[in-house]
Amino acid sequence: MDWLINFLTEFPQMSRQGLRDMKKMIDGSYREFSREYGEAIESFFDPLLWFLVKFEELLQITPWPVVILVVAGLAWWGARSWTIVIGSIVSFLLIGWFGMWEDTMSTLAIVSVSTFICIALGIPLGILMARSDRLQSMVTPVLDIMQTIPAFVYLIPVVMLLGIGKVPGLLSVCIYAIPPIVRLTNLGIRLVEKEALEAADAFGASYKQRLFGVQIPLALPNIFAGVNQTIMMALSMVVIASMIGVAGLGVPVLKSISNQYLALGMMNGLAIVVLAIIFDRVSQSFGLRLQKHRHGAQHD
């Protein structure tokens, strides 16, 4: 009887020794792998690093009035709204006035580059997923993992492989931020009305004509929601990424957590929020502007 009670109350566990050996084995082989291929993989990302560094440098050396002008110009180009333009100018002036200019430029650089990467990879992947149910069923769980696994957990292998610095930071931001754009591109294309597609087929549209002429334009609301989400997630990841050496607004936030600097933390946190709002409004209204048919009087 004793063994039965024991069996039921204590979970049958792997032996301590065995568990330790297993972990050691995994750690060891991964370490081996990173020693072996780490450099090669790092050099693979060199162009990316170069791009990021140059972009950041450019933002840093450009005189601040020029940067503000460019931001205002982009806001106008994207949104065509004076409120957003003036809002952006005032926010940037305040950020500079409170001494956060350089950090903001660094954050702007990494968010822009990672958003660009996410869009460049995510939209094509979403398109492919929409085309094939099998690919969808393979990619979806991966996206689920990427979205739910605590960011710290995948920071470990990334850091082991690439060390501390911009590239691993960029990579972890991308891992965190890419799922929404992939998901929403896939969803958007799958939700395109069957009738509109059938009409395209009936008139002899080729695959390309169908994709670029019908599917993508009609999926735009969802695709833009994805772009938007990706930007927001990239911005929120900036703080965590600063733990592995990404410069920017996350660094002072991290510092204020460990030192209980309320004001510093708040100011930098709010700067991130301001960036998020500007990105959000500009990208949203740009997306809306691309869909002219949604304006004007509707019948019925």
For position 223 contacting other proteins by CB under 8 A, the verdict is no
d(CA 68, CA 93): 8
Angle (CA) 189-118-92 rounded to 5° is 115
For position 208 contacting other proteins by CB under 8 A, the verdict is no
d(CA 227, CA 182): 9
For position 201 contacting other proteins by CB under 8 A, the verdict is yes
Name the token pair of 4: 């039965």
Least distance in Å: CB of 150 to other proteins?
Answer: 41
3-state secondary structure of 80: coil
For position 262 contacting other proteins by CB under 8 A, the verdict is no
For position 134 contacting other proteins by CB under 8 A, the verdict is no
Is 161 within 8 Å of 43 (Cβ atoms)? no
Task: Rank residues 163 and 217 by Cβ distance to other proteins and give the closer one.
Answer: 217
d(CA 120, CA 299): 37
**165, 217, 245, 265: which one binds other proteins (CB under 8 A):** 217
d(CA 57, CA 108): 11
**47, 63, 141, 204: which one binds other proteins (CB under 8 A):** 204
For position 298 contacting other proteins by CB under 8 A, the verdict is yes
For position 57 contacting other proteins by CB under 8 A, the verdict is no
d(CA 91, CA 68): 10
**191, 209, 257, 273: which one binds other proteins (CB under 8 A):** 209
> How far from chain centre, in Å, is Cα 68?
24
Least distance in Å: CB of 254 to other proteins?
Answer: 45
Is 158 within 8 Å of 168 (Cβ atoms)? yes
Binding to other proteins by CB under 8 A, coded x per residue (else -) over 153-192, reads ----------------------------------------
Task: Rank residues 3 and 203 by Cβ distance to other proteins and give the closer one.
Answer: 203
Contact residues for other proteins, defined by CB under 8 A: 195-196, 198-206, 209, 213-214, 217-218, 220, 291-293, 296-300
